[in-house]
Amino acid sequence: MRRPGGEMRRPGGDSGQVSIEFLGMTPLIVLTLVLVWQAVLVGYTFVLAGNAADEAVRAATAAAPGGARQAACSAAGLKDLSAAWRGSAGVTCGGSGYVTADVRLHVPVLFPGLIDFPATVTGHAGAVEEVKD
C-alpha cells in the first residue's frame, strides 16, 4: 500500500509504539528514583548525625564532668531525632577541657523506621569546656 507521497506503508502501522517503549523503560525509571531517594536518605542521615553531635557537645560543655555530662550529652543528642533514627542511635561524650561528642546513626532502607542498613553514619563535634565561676 502506498501513501500519497509514494512511500510504502507497513500493515498495522506504528500505533502503540510509544506505549510499548515507555512500558519497557518503566522499571529503569523506577529503579533510578529508588536509588536517588536512598541517596537522599543517606545524606539526610549525615546531616542528622552532625546536628545531633553539635547539640550533644553544646549540652555537655555546660554540664559537670562525669555521669551528669554523659546524661546531658545523650539527652541533647537524641532530643531532635525522630523515632525512626532515635531507636538505633548511640551518643557518647568524653574529654576534659575539650569535650567531644560522637553520634552514630543507622541509615534506613527506603522508609525510615522500617529496616536499617548495617552501615553506620557518625557525627563528631568538639567544643571547649565552659569555665565555671
Q: What is the DSSP letter of 2?
A: B
Residue 13: the pLDDT is 62
d(CA 114, CA 93): 28
Number of Cβ atoms within 10 Å of the Cβ of 55? 23
Q: How far apart are the first and last CA of the chain?
A: 99
Residue 91 sits at the vertex; the CA angle it makes with 87 and 95, to the nearest 5 degrees, is: 175
Provide the pLDDT for residue 6. Answer: 63
pLDDT tens digits, one per residue of 22-79: 888 889 999 999 999 999 999 999 999 999 999 999 888 888 877 888 888 889 888 8
Which SS3 state, helix, strand or coil, does residue 4 take?
A: coil
Q: What is the pLDDT of residue 49?
A: 92
